[in-house]
Each structure stands twice: as C-alpha cells, then as structure tokens.
Structure 1
Amino acid sequence: MTAPRPEPARLVVLVSGSGTNLQALIDAAADPAYGAQVVAVGADRHDIEGLRRAERRGIPTFVERVGDHPDRAAWDEALTRAVEAHRPDLVVLAGFMKLAGPAFLARFGGRTVNTHPALSPSFPGMRGPQDALEYGVRITGATLFVVDAGVDTGPIVAQVAVPVEDDDDVEALHERIKTSERAMLVEWVGKMAREDFTIDGRRIRFQPKDQS
C-alpha cells in the first residue's frame, strides 16, 4: 500500500514589485511533487504586479504599508499578525524591500528566507551587482539565506555562481543573476518544504522527513 503524500508546506510570500520570483514559486507549486503551496501573498504597497499575479491564481493577498502605522515597530507587529493568520510553514521574501523587525523574527525566525544578488558575505545591501562589477570580480552570483536581524547576513542555505562577462553593464549582469537566483530559490524552497532542516550556528542541515 502506498503511503499517503504528506500535506504540502504552507508558503507565505512577501513582495514589493513585479513578483517574478513569486510567479516561479506559484508555477513550481502546481506540481504536487514540489511539496509546497503558496497560501498567501503579502506586500508593503498596493497596486503592484506581484499582488495581481496572486489574485489571478485565486491566492489570498494582504497589504501592510509602513505609512499606515504610527511607527516601524507597529508596522512590524501588524505584518507579523497578517502573516501569522495564514499559518505558514515557511515565509519567503521575494523582492520584499523591507527589513524584518524584532516581532517578525521572534515569530518566524529560522523559517524565513530571502535572496541576495551576490555571493554573501561579499557585497551586501542594495547594490550587489553594481558593487561586484565595480570591484572587478570575475564571478558573482546569488545567495539564499535564512533571515536574521542583519542586512543579508543570515545563515546561507544555497548559493549559485554567475560569471562576469567582459562587456557586462550592471543591468545585463543583474538580469543574468536574477535568472539563476530564481532557479535556486525554487529548488531550495522546495527542498526546505519536503525535508526537515535545522540551523546549527551558520550551517543548515537537511534530512528526510520521518514518514512513519
């Protein structure tokens, strides 16, 4: 007798823009073997394509704007409540342009991931591709990491290398990084959904889920 397939992991995805990484996750989750489903999409602004992508698939959405709250701490608490309402197993920051605050990390720390368009710990912050190009590295890439209180400093889940071409400008390099970043995100979020993982210092350790 075949064992029943486990329930898919519940993903809440947070976006701030066009949602191309979100779309990749939605498409991957259409396959039951992927092991995860996007149960809600949140944003820090209205009228963005990321929200429309979710709405076209019938996925619930919510918006928590910083300016709608008295201060950043109140926004952080409101975002935490909004995410918690959808009972996520994992939270994915997919182009979400806000730092997670103390309330959010207290609730979802250790199971929130984000990507960075550089090979961490090199070139943190908003200018990763530009900084890599200006420094003259021959290889850069993208990093998937577990979110902590720093800027692109959390334990590394996965990395992918992207060569820097002689004729690259920032836009061309960033586009190639984003393509590799998207594939890495889909692959490793799926792995985090299908397997058990623990964080040991700065190491992420995986093992198959107990199916008994």
Structure 2
Amino acid sequence: MTTKPLRIAVFASGSGSNFQAIVNAVQEGRLDARIELLVCDRPQAEVVERAQKAGVPAHTFKPKDYASREAYEQEILALLQEKGVELVVLAGYMRIITSVLVDAYWGRMINIHPSLLPSFPGLHAVRQALEHGVKITGVTVHLVDGGLDSGPVLAQRAVNVEPDDTEQSLSEKIHPIEHVLYPQVIQAIAEGAIDLKQAAQPKTKDGMIVQ
C-alpha cells in the first residue's frame, strides 16, 4: 500500500453493519482510509442508504442484467481502477467472486467470516457451529483466493458458545466483534503492520498470521 489514506472499496449485499463500522472508524479517526466506492448487487439494500448518508459513492447492479458474472465484474474492475482503489473489502457480499476480480486484486482483497476458519466456511457459519456443538467459535479476516473462505488468515477473534445460545443470540455476540476487528485489520494494513504481500505467499497453517 503506497498512499495515505488507504483507498478502499467495500462490497456488501445486505444491511451493511460492517460497512457502517468501517465508516464510523474513518469518521472517528481510528482508520486512515478513504472509502472510494460501495459495490452492491442489491440496489434496494439498506447498505446503499448507509452509503448515501455517509457520502460514499455507490455502484449498484442487478446480476441478472448481465450475461455472466465475469461481465459485471469487468465493469466493477474498471470502476475500481478508475478510482485508484488499493484494497477491496468484502463485507457481507453474497456473490461468488470470479478470477476477473481475484486475479486483479490478488493479495489486496479481504473478507470477514463469522467462524474460526478453516472451520465452518460458506453460508450459515453460525448455524453450522451450533449444529456441531462447538464450545468456541469466532470471527476471521482472511485474504480472498477464489475458494470458499479458503484464503490465508490475517486475524481471528474467539467467541464463547453458551449452552443456551441460539443462532440469533450467537450472531448478536459475533457482530460486535466483527465491527471492532475489521477496521482494526484494515488500519493494520494501512500502517504496514500486516504485510499483505507476505500474507499472500503460500503458507503452512503454523505460518498464518493470527492475532
């Protein structure tokens, strides 16, 4: 990363609580970044309203209007390059990312996931944790490599699972952790405390950066 503040784009599909956490961190001076763009595949999503209130430009689209995933990602890639985006931040973006974006932003695209990866990748991670009866789950921030939540881990935080937890109650415990951790990781990237070039190299499990 070469510029200050760090130029980022956030991809989201739903309510945008992690997007809002990033906005708040920027506004409060805890995150030395500039949100150049919100990308959203659901034009009516609440996150679009959040972006408007924050003064963040939003690119919305309907995937069905395009011939392929690659077609709309080419359009998105052109926007990212036009705005000089250095880091792509996936925050509840519910679309599969193809090689169009993964290759262009390899080592510069991150995601947050509500489990301690590699456990419980994919959809319904909180439900998976409960169904498996684990005592501890958590939050992971990782690089995106085109697989299913399989990229190198950058940071993790643990969350205790209580016997009476439901999917809703456990999610409510996980969300505040996400809202703290994601801006912290982005700031660490901006400061160079997390070296994405190093993290993007093939690693053994013991070599992963876990904070």
TM over 0.5: yes
Distance in 2 separating the partners of 1:72 and 1:9: 27
Partner amino acid, structure 2, of 1:130 = R
Shift of 1:58: 1.4
Corresponding residue SS for 1:34: coil
User: Which segments of 5 or more consecutive residues in structure 2 lack a partner in the other structure?
Assistant: none
Partner amino acid, structure 2, of 1:169 = T
Corresponding residue SS for 1:59: coil
User: Which segments of 5 or more consecutive residues in structure 1 lack a partner in the other structure?
Assistant: 1-5, 206-212
- 1:210 — aligned with what? none
- 1:66 — aligned with what? 63
2:178 corresponds to 1:177: no
Q: Which has the larger radius of gyration?
A: 1
User: More displaced, 31-40 or 17-26?
Assistant: 31-40
Distance in 2 separating the partners of 1:13 and 1:33: 17
- 1:201 — aligned with what? 202
- 1:90 — aligned with what? 87
Partner amino acid, structure 2, of 1:124 = P
- 2:6 — aligned with what? 9
**Per-residue CA distance 1:156-211 (angstroms, 9 max, x = gap):** 00000000011101111112112112211111111111216122323567xxxxxx
Tell me how many residue pairs correspond in the alignment. 200
Distance in 1 separating the partners of 2:173 and 2:163: 14
Distance in 2 separating the partners of 1:93 and 1:195: 20
Between the aligned residues of both structures, percent identity stands at: 34
1:119-198 counterparts in 2 under 5 A? 119-195=116-192, 197=195, 198=197
Determine if contact 1:9/1:194 at 8 Å carries over to the other structure.
no
Distance in 1 separating the partners of 2:167 and 2:108: 31
Distance in 2 separating the partners of 1:146 and 1:21: 17
Corresponding residue SS for 2:156: strand
Check 1:40–1:201 CA distance in 2 against 1; reply closer, same or farther (3 A cut). Answer: same
1:49-60 counterparts in 2 under 5 A? 49-60=46-57
Taking only aligned residues, the RMSD between alpha carbons, in angstroms, comes to: 1.6
Distance in 2 separating the partners of 1:122 and 1:33: 30
TM-score, normalised with respect to structure 1: 0.89
- Determine which structure has greater relative contact order: mean sequence separation of CA pairs < 8 Å that are 6+ residues apart, divided by chain length: 2
